[in-house]
Structure formats: C-alpha cells, structure tokens
Amino acid sequence: MLEDLRTLVETESPSRDLDALAASAEAVATVIENRLGGQAVLNVNAGGTHVHWVAGGEPRVLILGHHDTVFPLGTLARRPFAVVDGRATGPGVFDMLGGLVQAVHGLATLDERERSGVEILVTADEEVGSFSSRAFIEERARACGAVLVFEGAADGGALKNARKGCGAFQVSITGRASHAGLEPEAGVNALIEAAHQVLDIAALSRPELGTTVTPTVASAGTLENVVPAEATVVVDVRVESAEEKERVEAAFAALTSHVEGARITVEGSIARPPMPESAAAELFLLAQQLMPGIEAVAVGGGSDGNLTAAVGVPTLDGLGAVGGGAHADHEYVVIDAMAVRAHLAAGLVKAIQHAPRA
C-alpha cells in the first residue's frame, strides 16, 4: 500500500490543471489495474480526467473517490512523500489518495466472484465542485444502489454519516469611477457598497441551525486616487437542511444595494445538498457489525457523498485514511490503520453483496 501511495502522491494533481490531472488519472488507473486486473477507462472532459473501473456482473456497490488535490504544482518538491514515525506525509496523502489505495487493496483481498458488481469511480474535480463529474456520479450511484466514499476519516477514525450542504456565491458590485480628490461625489463607490453587502450577507448565518454564511474573499479598486467602480465578494455557505438551503439561496437572490447608483449581480448556489444521517443508516449498521465500536459523526465539509445521498442512494462516507491535516502542510496518514481500513472496505463490499437489494 505504501508503494502505491507513494506513486499517487508523487504524481501531483492540482484541480483544474488538466495536464497534471491526465497524468494522475493514468497513475490511478495503473494502480487499479495492477492490483485488480481488468481495464480502467479514462473519461476526459472539461473538469479533468476521471477514472472508471468495472468488475463486471450486476452493479451492486460504487467505490467513490477523487484524485485531484488542492496543492499547486511544485508542492511535492517542498514537501515530498515521506514515511516517518508511523505516519505517511505528502500533498494529498490524507485527502484523499490514502483512501483510494486502501479501497483498491481491500478489493484485492477478494476473489473475482466476491468483486462482482463492484465499480470504482475516481473523479478529477471534487475539490472544485464536481461540476463535470456530477451527472456521471449520480448515474453510477443509481445503477449500483449503494455508495462507499473513501474520503479521509473523521477524528479518531470515525466514519461520516452526515454532511452539511455547501456552496459558494459571488456578489459583484458595479459602481462608477471618479477622481477621489477632485470629485469623489461624482463616483459611485463600489467598495462602500461591498462593505454594506458583507454585513448583510454575514447576518444570514444561523449557527443554531447549523447554517454558516462566511464572506471569504473580497476585491475592489484600481488606484488609491480613484473611486472604485467595481468590487466582488465571495461567500462560503454551509447548511444542514433543505429548508435552510432554500432560505439562503432566496436571500442572496434578494440582495439590494445601499449606495445610490450601485448595481448588484449574484452568481452561485448551494451546489452540494445536505447529506442526512438517514442516508448512511443501513450501511453504518453493516460497518458496526464488521468493526464493533466504530463511530460515525456529522461533519461540516462536503463531498461527492452529498450528491449520491441527494439522489436517494444509501451512502457511507469517511471510509478512507485515518489521519488529519486535510488541505494543510501537516497532512498525514496513520500507517498502522491502513490495512485495518482496507479490510473494512472488503467486508462492506461482501456484506452489501449478500444483503437483499431494495
């Protein structure tokens, strides 16, 4: 497993870098084919190169993951793959290359008959919204009827049985430029309008309901002596319920200007619906039978498990590596847990195959 993990980590795969993602997809496909046989199909589209492997037989379970990472090319030179003191480190090792390796090696412990009905889908754009892969993910999830998501585990190795819905909005403000010293009153200050909008937007949060609305990026202006004619505000949104999704989306659509003459346009949505605990209930019971004492928690981050749960397919998330530091320089995987999680993956596949299909 460490050999394959090194291979994947050392093939850098930043989201939106189509050439790097193509090379990474080739590496993922090679690992799958070397360990499981068959042929992995490379699906190239605008979001990158996705990898799809099918064992054959009636579809029963979809192994779901992604190979894109948040780290730019060159990160590997600064932070190379390493194995030290029981931990593997390197860009993307926890989110989520370690989980992919565990899933493949878990399946490799099964014989050909036991792998019948298994599909593996490894996408190239999860970190940036899954816009190019969403339809395919939903299609294969419906066909298989059960989804195991190999995103990194929660703290202490817990599985993830619920996720917030998440999305992003961009609020663009158009004003009018003027000389800041000679005639500031002739301008329409987009930056002042943006300041009003930031306060209005932040007030949409309802933390008691699990809703967070967080302005994260803002830009405005060109020179210190020019009244800014344009400004933008980018906002991260997380919700726990469909009702809150509707409320927040409606509130963004209803934003109005405070500065006379300023115009506002809004783009975006809560693209990943919430993943309710009920979506994971059946599969989590199977996991508990295989690994008594394992826990499951709700988390704020989204994954492609949100998408499969939203179309009504039983989905269990957080089956990947035990570790931490996702998206950070201290990202790591606990090596001793890798084989344990691989065997859990294999056990879940067998259990799903023997369970009556709805």
Q: Which of 25, 29, 8, 5 is nearest to 17 (CA)?
A: 25
% of the chain at pLDDT higher than 90? 99
| pLDDT grade for 358, boundaries at 50, 70 and 90 | low
In this prediction, residues 100-129 reach a mean pLDDT of 97
Question: What is the structure's pLDDT at 84?
Answer: 98
Q: Which of 82, 62, 120, 88 is nearest to 322 (CA)?
A: 88
**Residue 269 is encoded by which pair of tokens?**
């949505």
In this prediction, residues 50-54 reach a mean pLDDT of 98
Q: Summarize pLDDT for 310-331 with one digit per residue, the tens.
A: 999 999 999 999 999 999 999 9
Cα(355)–Cα(358) distance, rounded to whole angstroms? 9
Say if residue 245's pLDDT is above 80. yes
For the domain made up of 165-272, the CATH class stated in words is alpha beta
CB contact burial 162-201 (16+ within 10 A = b; e otherwise): bbbbbbbbebbbbbbbbebeeeeeebbbbbbbbbbbbeeb
Contact criterion met (CB below 8 Å) for 320 and 151: yes
In this prediction, residues 341-352 reach a mean pLDDT of 98
Question: What is the structure's pLDDT at 354?
Answer: 85
**Angle at the Cα of 103 from the Cα atoms of 100 and 106, rounded to 5 degrees:** 145
Q: Where does the chain hold its CATH 3.40.630.10 domain(s)?
A: 2-163+274-354
Cα(237)–Cα(69) distance, rounded to whole angstroms? 21
In this structure, CATH architecture of domain 2-163+274-354 = 3-Layer(aba) Sandwich (3.40)
**Angle at the Cα of 286 from the Cα atoms of 344 and 56, rounded to 5 degrees:** 70
- For the whole model, what pTM was predicted? 0.92
Tell me the average pLDDT of the chain: 97
Question: What is the structure's pLDDT at 170?
Answer: 98
Calculate the dihedral angle through the C-alpha atoms of 272, 277, 281, 287, rounding to the nearest 10 degrees: 80
Say if residue 337's pLDDT is above 70. yes
Cα(280)–Cα(181) distance, rounded to whole angstroms? 61
**Residue 187 is encoded by which pair of tokens?**
């301008």
Q: Where does the chain hold its CATH 3.30.70.360 domain(s)?
A: 165-272
Q: Summarize pLDDT for 274-297 with one digit per residue, the tens.
A: 999 999 999 999 999 999 999 999
Looking at residue 265, what DSSP letter applies?
A: E
Looking at residue 14, what DSSP letter applies?
A: B
Cα(162)–Cα(63) distance, rounded to whole angstroms? 18
Helix (H, G, I), strand (E, B) or coil at 159: strand
Q: Summarize pLDDT for 227-237 with one digit per residue, the tens.
A: 999 999 999 99
Say if residue 51's pLDDT is above 80. yes
CB atoms within 10 A of CB 133: 23
Q: Summarize pLDDT for 210-224 with one digit per residue, the tens.
A: 999 999 999 999 999
| pLDDT grade for 100, boundaries at 50, 70 and 90 | very high
